[in-house]
Structure 1
Amino acid sequence: MSSSPLLPITRRSLLGGLAATSALVVLHPFAARAQANQAHLRIMETTDIHVHVFPYDYYGDKPNDTMGLARTASIIDSIRAEAGNSMLIDNGDFLQGNPMGDYIAYERGMKEGDQHPVVKAMNVLGYDAGTLGNHEFNYGLDFMFKVLSGAGFPYVCANLTKGQLASDPKQDDLFFKPYVILEKEIRDGSGATSPVKVGFIGFVPPQIMLWDAKHLEGKAQTRDIVEAAQAWVPVMREEGADIIVALSHSGIDGSGMSDRMENASLYLAGVDGIDAVFTGHQHLVFPGPKDFEGIAGADAVKGTLMGKPAVMAGFWGSHMGLIDLLLEKDGNSWKIVDFTTEARPIYHRDADRKVVADVKDKPEVLAAAKEDHEATLAYVRRPVGKTSAPLYSYFALVADDPSVQIVANAQVWYIKEMLKDGEYKDYPVLSAAAPFKAGGRGGAEYYTDVPAGDIAIKNVADLYLYPNTVQAVLITGEQVKNWLEMSAGMFNQVEPGAKDAPLINSGFPSYNFDVIDGVSYQIDLSQPARFDKDGALVNAGSHRIVDLQFDGKPIDPAQKFVVATNNYRAGGGGKFPEIAGDKVIFVAPDTNRDVVVRYIMDQGTINPSADANWSFKPMDGTTAIFETGPKGREYAAEIKGATIEDAGDGAEGFAKFRLVL
């Protein structure tokens, strides 16, 4: 990998390099010190843009300095100027994720010759290559291909096939070229130019076959990421690639390699012949101080996976990922002799934890999507009904919550109507819903907060972020209990009598914290989690879910229930025990979000008050601490079924609260 010792280059030493012609630009040390047979190549990454072209929160209908390709783009020119030579790639998940994406897909559509606003913006910036993320498939294959036809750069994906997998991955009938080898003229330390052949190979999570089965079943198939890489990387070498770069829309998981692994980038880096890895999907930052500590094979300080340079550039344009390579001529080809990695942010927080923008917008990017931005604003501001009480999610992880309640109500209303004349009409209908905006990686303002009064489409989109479709499963009372046991993994175990124990398991995503409406229950925090994050039974004797009742009586483990949910959960998303496609009895053509809109229109005015159907089992003399958005202080006294006290300020702009158990 390297013929010379790796140098411990830090951000401080980088900024201490030689000045370029502009006094405001500092050359990367590789560009400054490259010899006659050496060249500096910087490869820049955007990932998980999710249609955030503008630095604008459409749900809150206000600017937001933590996001936006227009902001990330504004530093591209200076980042290129720091480098001897540069290339730009996108690592997927650009097509869905905010109301602009939904507006284009569901309202405006894509006619012949149309260009999607995010593609318009990307074309302005001169990308060299891109790969697909899982969210590119949310609106269907036809829509995706219409969008991609407008891109001014190639897309690659080595593990998405048009049909059944061949016995040899190289015989797969792929939708895209598995890789592209780009010949780039680079300038060496003496000023001479010569070509380097950089190969880019792309990968998508195999789980798209579960998450978007309605779009892909019978039309596509996915192969294991590492398996596909092992087949195609040698071919790239044979075709003359000097440097091979993996565009992996897959995260970093050190739990051990498994077949069809969702977050396989660590093991992908171990494939012989791959020189560098761009990662994404997890919405985290690598290298960095906290997200990937303690994973064998991952150096979160140096920014390496299996000793090779790697980067993950956050989400929504929050960072620009940089891999800097010092190349050396070896005969007629180039090899890597040194590297550095960096995830460069577009904002920081000041001493008061307030967001401070580090960059300005790039006007050309704003101009490219301006008309679509304005049309999206008109779309999201359209009212559909009223709410008699506020809708907020500040306490959705610690008490029954109005933002989850309204989704549950709408799903029950819809499924009962759909099943009223069929074979399942006499089964009781329950509803599973989870909070999507509950702080976490999204920050201290990442919560639903809709005042009483008019509800617009932006508010409904805020309640339900994803274009999931409604599905219903038929399961037993025992399976209902295990579903809730899995959800209870959201919480740490709390010792009776503990004072201010940490409540929330930070590794458990809020979208997997399903509340099931139609039953009542308590969660016993003194017990360890029954299931691990992959749904494996790890504490058979543990039962966190207690006093589980239906219709005022203990639930019958054998009784059958219809549970309204979404296609992600019904298809096995989140690995909930025994919840998979074989339990599905109804597949709706409608998105969960559309069902909420229809429900509000049908009701005219909704009452979203939570019914407090779940709570924590009391533990005398015990308290636990959690964080939420500071605006939650306005609602803390209203929470039913829980005693919550203000406990001061938390980290990163959050507020701290005490739950009295």
Structure 2
Amino acid sequence: MDFFSDRSSIRHDSGATLARQAARTNDAAPETKLMTRTPLLTRRSFLAGAAATTGALATMHPFSLRAQANTAHLRVMETTDLHVHVFPYDYYADKPVDTLGLSRTAAHFRAIRAEATNAILVDNGDFLQGNPMGDYIAYERGMKAGDTHPIVAAMNVLGYDAGTLGNHEFNYGLSFLESTLAGANFPVVCANVASGALASDPRADRTFVKPYVILDRTVTDGAGVAHPIKIGLIGFVPPQIMNWDKRHLEGNVAARDIVQAARAYVPQMREEGAQIVIALSHSGIDPSAGDGAENAALLLAGIEGIDALVLGHQHLVFPGESFVDMAGVDAGAGTLRGKPAAMGGFWGSHLGVLDLMLERTADGWRIAASTSEARPISKRNEDRSITALVSDEADVLAAAQAEHEATLAYVRRPVGETAAPLHSYFALVADDPSVQVVSQAQTWYIAQMMQGTEWEGLPILSAAAPFKAGGRGGPEYYTDVPVGPVAIKNVADLYLYPNTVRAIVVEGATVKEWLEMSAGMFNQVAPGEADQVLINPDFPSYNFDVIDGVTYEIDLTEPAKYDAKGEVVNPDAARIVNLAFEGRPVDPAERFVVATNNYRAGGGGNFPGVTEDKVVFVGPDTNRDVLVRYIVEQGTIDPRADANWRFAPVPGATVLFDTGPKARDLVAEVTGVAIEPAGDGENGFARFRITL
């Protein structure tokens, strides 16, 4: 990639412009901007040098170009949250994609290593679990002595300098993790997880892996002189692993607060000679973080002795727009409390890059200036199509080729059975098996996660919506899995999006308003009129939440209280009637845990009362992964709709709705509603009539 193809735009009146133009990222990712910290050279000398070396501008970063005697350019490159994505392949959908894969990220790494005089590559955790290849190795092939995990084999090819543990490394148990780490040709560090119990002093902990590593490296300065340097790398993982993987970890390891561990070990690293200390923080950015925080990067940045940070866990990009207007964060420059930081997305979508201009002083090396970016492997075009920005690295693919092919066979093979067809043809008009099974899986998962918390014992409800329900997707755009084997790739039909699980605690009054919002899916119906149009075409199906665990009816004679944007349009309307829990009316003040996803819990859809401050659990797992695990554990699922919701009777009224033509073969299975074929709809749809 040519960083300097637009050299004419470098102006002599703007050092900041120089930094941005000289190290700009692809136009597809405007959020990945750059900055300079304390200038090492005067702007005039920097620019004069740049003008004198235009012949080299096509290949070298400005820090490498302008480094002089006793100043050196060090590039730190980071991958994070790879989740076993070696190949650019979506195993759930069973098709190649251009938005992920270490084989693509590696192309960036190799292309830009040459732009820096000195460079290291690190991984920031969550490499071991997260796609069907990870499950195939853990549940099918196993890790016997001498085996190398395919993600580790691919990382070995690239010559990583170090890595840290993420929370998902613990998902398959400690023995599996230890076997995996044995195959790594690079050190993996983590300072806040101890084998056995925690000691009274963090330094006395018997850490599960080494807390840190000090790399003895040589850097070449601008005069061509090689100098020794000690680079300290220390790793951290969210202490919430003790809840998320309690069954694997309780009694075997213990997790310490991230900041507490850092305050203990960073001075020790300095005592042992580390001249530059970089935190490998599998932990993101949260300005409200306190003791025991999951996302403690801002607190880490405030610790004396840490010079720079690479981040992860949040599946976001930093520098980037997700962190604008946060105290202590420069979301454009890529700094936390003034220290350089980068977060490289997830699944290999970006390469995090820190460029550090180091200055050698009497006291050792220090960072005199820096830039930060997250470099994407693809871009989304205006028409929503995707363009790849890099190609695969063949040797990275080769390292996992056999396992990739075995994984394809695995995802195409049944992982369980369904005793009921899983289809969404009637998901908008009746309780539906494709939504039911998602709710069952979410309830199963959240019930485990609530154990041992202050919310254990509260009733658990589950909210889920149909994703594939025709509409603009056309008459074939429906979930349709017949009775019999369920393959992992079928899960993509049941849950389209890579949402992650959340749980919120709300009162009964909020449950009712949540359902009032969902009921905006339907037009108002008049008694005594035939063949009225039922579905509001402006209301997206993914906002039609069905809440399992309560029973209720929808009175269509009432107008919708909320419009499709969540705005109140009829404040006195009340479509939800006979709302009950375990056969008794829901008390407006009664508290419930509701299993949902990050989109809804974060305010997606603008549902009344469903806000992020109500979140009591942020799951490390996607809803799709939870669904796979549920099917595997159950063996045979029987998600027959239990008709926990229905339309209230409307005397003399019938309504029409359109769905996929295959629904004609399944209409007899629909419960809780009187429905019959009513001919052909438009554009290939089939029309049905409901008698209310």
Question: Using a 3 Å threshold, how does the CA distance of structure 1 residues 134 and 579 change in structure 2: closer, same or farther?
Answer: closer
Which amino acid in 2 is paired with 1:274? I
Of 221-230 and 314-323, deviating more is 221-230
Contact 1:45 1:90 in 2 (8 A): yes
> What does residue 581 of structure 2 align with?
550
Question: Using a 3 Å threshold, how does the CA distance of structure 1 residues 579 and 365 change in structure 2: closer, same or farther?
Answer: closer
Pairwise mapping of residues 333-352 of structure 1 onto structure 2 (< 5 A)? 333-352=364-383
Distance 2:355 2:19 in 1: 12
1:12 matches 2:21: yes
> What does residue 322 of structure 1 align with?
353
Structure 2 gaps, min length 5: 1-13, 25-46, 447-456, 521-535, 555-559, 567-573, 598-611, 619-624, 648-658, 674-692
Distance 2:343 2:592 in 1: 42
Question: Using a 3 Å threshold, how does the CA distance of structure 1 residues 70 and 450 change in structure 2: closer, same or farther?
Answer: farther
> What does residue 279 of structure 1 align with?
311
Report the structure number with the largest CA radius of gyration.
Answer: 2
> What does residue 85 of structure 1 align with?
118
Contact 2:150 2:400 in 1 (8 A): yes
Contact 1:392 1:402 in 2 (8 A): no
Distance 1:323 1:399 in 2: 53
Contact 2:480 2:493 in 1 (8 A): no
> What does residue 292 of structure 2 align with?
260
Question: Using a 3 Å threshold, how does the CA distance of structure 1 residues 95 and 592 change in structure 2: closer, same or farther?
Answer: same
Of 277-286 and 405-414, deviating more is 405-414
TM-fit CA distance, 1:598? 6.9
Which amino acid in 2 is paired with 1:37? N
Question: Using a 3 Å threshold, how does the CA distance of structure 1 residues 22 and 69 change in structure 2: closer, same or farther?
Answer: farther
Question: Using a 3 Å threshold, how does the CA distance of structure 1 residues 228 and 559 change in structure 2: closer, same or farther?
Answer: closer
Distance 1:490 1:203 in 2: 43
1:248 matches 2:281: yes
> What does residue 606 of structure 2 align with?
none
Which amino acid in 1 is paired with 2:67? A
> What does residue 310 of structure 1 align with?
341
Pairwise mapping of residues 559-598 of structure 1 onto structure 2 (< 5 A)? 593-597=628-632
Which amino acid in 2 is paired with 1:71? R
Distance 1:433 1:276 in 2: 41
Contact 1:413 1:599 in 2 (8 A): no
Q: Per the alignment, in what secondary structure is the counterpart of residue 196 of structure 2?
A: coil
TM-fit CA distance, 1:171? 1.4
Question: Using a 3 Å threshold, how does the CA distance of structure 1 residues 490 and 131 change in structure 2: closer, same or farther?
Answer: farther
1:233 matches 2:263: no
TM-fit CA distance, 1:221? 1.1
Q: Per the alignment, in what secondary structure is the counterpart of residue 153 of structure 1?
A: coil
1:206 matches 2:239: yes
Distance 2:110 2:282 in 1: 25
Distance 1:487 1:180 in 2: 53
Distance 2:509 2:243 in 1: 18
Contact 2:550 2:644 in 1 (8 A): no
TM-fit CA distance, 1:186? 1.1
Which amino acid in 2 is paired with 1:251? G
In the TM superposition, what whole-angstrom CA distance separates every residue of 1:21-51 from its partner, at most 9, and x where no partner exists? 9999521110111001110000000000001
Contact 2:86 2:151 in 1 (8 A): yes
Contact 1:436 1:465 in 2 (8 A): no
Q: Per the alignment, in what secondary structure is the counterpart of residue 120 of structure 1?
A: helix
Question: Using a 3 Å threshold, how does the CA distance of structure 1 residues 183 and 486 change in structure 2: closer, same or farther?
Answer: farther
TM-fit CA distance, 1:503? 10
Question: Using a 3 Å threshold, how does the CA distance of structure 1 residues 548 and 491 change in structure 2: closer, same or farther?
Answer: closer
Aligned with 2:409 (options 359, 364, 378): 378
Root mean square deviation, CA, Å: 5.0
Contact 1:206 1:262 in 2 (8 A): yes
Distance 1:125 1:91 in 2: 15
Of 40-49 and 377-386, deviating more is 377-386
Aligned with 1:169 (options 202, 216, 219): 202
Distance 1:300 1:108 in 2: 43
Distance 1:414 1:204 in 2: 22
Pairwise mapping of residues 633-648 of structure 1 onto structure 2 (< 5 A)? none
> What does residue 28 of structure 2 align with?
none
Aligned with 1:190 (options 223, 229, 242): 223
Distance 1:491 1:22 in 2: 62
In the TM superposition, what whole-angstrom CA distance separates every residue of 1:605-658 from its partner, at most 9, and x where no partner exists? x76x6957399xxxxxxxxxxxxxxxx9999xx9999xxxxxxxxxxxxxxxxx
Pairwise mapping of residues 213-228 of structure 1 onto structure 2 (< 5 A)? 213-228=246-261
In the TM superposition, what whole-angstrom CA distance separates every residue of 1:361-383 from its partner, at most 9, and x where no partner exists? 00001000000000000011014
TM-fit CA distance, 1:226? 1.0
Aligned with 2:551 (options 519, 527, 533): 519
Question: Using a 3 Å threshold, how does the CA distance of structure 1 residues 515 and 247 change in structure 2: closer, same or farther?
Answer: farther
Contact 1:42 1:86 in 2 (8 A): yes
1:145 matches 2:175: no
1:296 matches 2:327: yes
Distance 2:431 2:191 in 1: 44
Distance 2:175 2:506 in 1: 37
Question: Using a 3 Å threshold, how does the CA distance of structure 1 residues 80 and 401 change in structure 2: closer, same or farther?
Answer: farther
1:133 matches 2:166: yes
TM-fit CA distance, 1:206? 0.7
> What does residue 406 of structure 1 align with?
437
Which amino acid in 1 is paired with 2:274? A
In the TM superposition, what whole-angstrom CA distance separates every residue of 1:170-229 from its partner, at most 9, and x where no partner exists? 112211111111011111111111111110010000100111101111111111111111
Question: Using a 3 Å threshold, how does the CA distance of structure 1 residues 392 and 277 change in structure 2: closer, same or farther?
Answer: farther
Distance 1:503 1:10 in 2: 46
Which amino acid in 2 is paired with 1:360? S
Question: Using a 3 Å threshold, how does the CA distance of structure 1 residues 482 and 71 change in structure 2: closer, same or farther?
Answer: farther
Which amino acid in 2 is paired with 1:593? V
Aligned with 2:131 (options 74, 83, 98): 98
Which amino acid in 2 is paired with 1:263? N
Distance 1:466 1:165 in 2: 39
Structure 1 gaps, min length 5: 416-426, 439-443, 495-499, 505-509, 530-542, 567-573, 581-589, 616-631, 642-661
Contact 1:201 1:246 in 2 (8 A): yes
In the TM superposition, what whole-angstrom CA distance separates every residue of 1:454-498 from its partner, at most 9, and x where no partner exists? 74232237757999xx9xx9xxxx988569759959999x9xxxx
TM-score under structure 2 length normalisation: 0.67
Question: Using a 3 Å threshold, how does the CA distance of structure 1 residues 449 and 23 change in structure 2: closer, same or farther?
Answer: farther
Distance 1:189 1:544 in 2: 73
Distance 2:102 2:189 in 1: 21
Contact 2:93 2:492 in 1 (8 A): no
Contact 2:127 2:151 in 1 (8 A): yes
Question: Using a 3 Å threshold, how does the CA distance of structure 1 residues 245 and 578 change in structure 2: closer, same or farther?
Answer: closer
Which amino acid in 2 is paired with 1:83? A
Q: Per the alignment, in what secondary structure is the counterpart of residue 195 of structure 1?
A: strand
Contact 1:6 1:338 in 2 (8 A): no
Contact 1:277 1:309 in 2 (8 A): yes
Question: Using a 3 Å threshold, how does the CA distance of structure 1 residues 106 and 552 change in structure 2: closer, same or farther?
Answer: same
Distance 1:13 1:399 in 2: 58
TM-fit CA distance, 1:547? 5.4
Contact 2:551 2:644 in 1 (8 A): no
Q: Per the alignment, in what secondary structure is the counterpart of residue 203 of structure 2?
A: helix
Contact 1:253 1:265 in 2 (8 A): yes
Among the aligned pairs, what percent are the same residue?
54
TM-fit CA distance, 1:431? 6.0
Contact 1:491 1:503 in 2 (8 A): no
Contact 1:251 1:263 in 2 (8 A): yes
Q: Per the alignment, in what secondary structure is the counterpart of residue 103 of structure 2?
A: helix
Distance 1:310 1:219 in 2: 33
1:58 matches 2:91: yes
Aligned with 2:491 (options 457, 460, 474): 460
